[in-house]
């Protein structure tokens, strides 16, 4: 059988998306977090025409594009999509099997350095700004992450500054970049000084608390899961910063959210 394949553009709103999905072929299980990410882009104006079509088989059933159509419904947006009609339904078996482009890949294509660490720093900084604290889960599209990066280019300098220092103490490089960036927004000189002391291990006057934190990271074993978690590391790093800028000594550098301790806020040295 010879298939007739056609290509065209169609404007799709929630009603049209419902109609198309009602006539859909069997599709993979819905990834609701992916739908939410696409819908957020559509609502925020971050969605663009990527040239990636909605694909229908020879019977007009959607065989590629259900997440995008569900995102149209969730967002309430009206979007122009490319459509390809008349594809053999068996071709669905080979769709979406390539390697997904990561945020680090996107940054590398822009000529950035330390791209995996920078990608992590961006998403952590976004989580921090959105929630007022760090949490382990982040669900942002590449478009929204790159827009955030364009608005917070200091993340580049913070990540590049801390990446080797973090490596010395086996500290997650992206987390170091995100925390340095937040510190540098308060006091760039103090932020640099703090991470140089933490990474290089020099003990100077009033820096014993930083040396204690460095020792804590270096002696924590992989079996000590709480001490290895990014959110825990961030909290004790912030507590150490707060003690350092206020000239206090901590008897014990810890954070116990299970006992109701809130994620700490960074103290601004300029407010002291």
Q: How many domains is the chain built from?
A: 2
Q: Given pLDDT bands bounded at 50, 70 and 90, which one contains residue 12?
A: very high
Q: Would you state the pLDDT for residue 96? A: 56
Residues 143-170 pLDDT 10s: 889 999 999 999 999 999 999 999 999 8
For residue 234, tell me if it sits in a domain.
yes
What torsion do the CA atoms of 138, 82, 111, 190 make, to the nearest 10 degrees?
A: -30
Average pLDDT over residues 231-244: 95
Alpha carbon 149 to chain centroid distance?
A: 11
For residue 236, tell me if it sits in a domain.
yes
Other CB atoms within a 10 A radius of the CB of residue 45 amount to 10
Residue of higher predicted confidence among 18 and 88: 18
For residue 3, tell me if it sits in a domain.
no
Residue of higher predicted confidence among 114 and 59: 114
Residues 78-122 pLDDT 10s: 999 989 888 887 776 555 544 567 899 889 989 999 999 999 999
**Is residue 237 over pLDDT 60?**
yes
144 and 196 share one domain: yes
139 and 17 share one domain: no
pTM recorded for the entire structure: 0.72
For residue 2, tell me if it sits in a domain.
no
Domain range spanning residue 63?
A: 8-94
Q: Say if residue 248 is exposed, middle or buried (CB neighbours under 10 Å; 0-12, 13-18, 19+).
A: exposed
121 and 221 share one domain: yes
193 and 245 share one domain: yes
Cβ atoms of residues 197 and 210 within 8 Å: yes
Cβ atoms of residues 182 and 175 within 8 Å: no
**Is residue 135 over pLDDT 80?**
no
16 and 71 share one domain: yes
């Amino acid at each position: 059988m010879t298939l007739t394949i056609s290509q065209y553009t169609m404007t799709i709103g929630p009603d049209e998306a419902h109609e198309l999905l009602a006539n859909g072929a069997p599709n993979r299980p819905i990834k609701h977090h992916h739908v939410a990410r696409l819908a957020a882009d559509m609502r925020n104006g971050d969605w663009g025409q990527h040239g990636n079509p909605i694909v229908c088989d020879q019977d007009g059933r959607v065989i590629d594009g259900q997440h995008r159509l569900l995102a149209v419904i969730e967002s309430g947006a009206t979007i122009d999509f490319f459509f390809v009609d008349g594809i053999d339904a068996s071709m669905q078996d080979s769709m979406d099997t390539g390697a997904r482009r990561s945020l680090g890949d996107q940054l590398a294509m822009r000529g950035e350095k330390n791209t995996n660490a920078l990608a992590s720093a961006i998403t952590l900084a976004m989580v921090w700004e959105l929630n007022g604290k760090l949490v382990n889960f982040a669900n942002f599209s590449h478009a929204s992450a790159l827009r955030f990066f364009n608005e917070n280019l200091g993340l580049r300098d913070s990540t590049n500054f801390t990446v080797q220092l973090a490596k010395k103490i086996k500290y997650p490089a992206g987390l170091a970049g995100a925390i340095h960036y937040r510190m540098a927004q308060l006091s760039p000189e103090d932020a640099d000084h703090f991470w140089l002391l933490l990474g290089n291990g020099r003990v100077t006057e009033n820096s014993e608390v930083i040396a204690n934190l460095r020792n804590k990271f270096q002696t924590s074993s992989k079996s000590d899961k709480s001490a290895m978690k990014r959110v825990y590391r961030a909290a004790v790093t912030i507590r150490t910063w707060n003690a350092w800028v206020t000239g206090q000594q901590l008897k014990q550098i810890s954070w116990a959210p299970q006992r109701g301790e809130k994620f700490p806020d960074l103290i601004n040295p300029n407010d002291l």
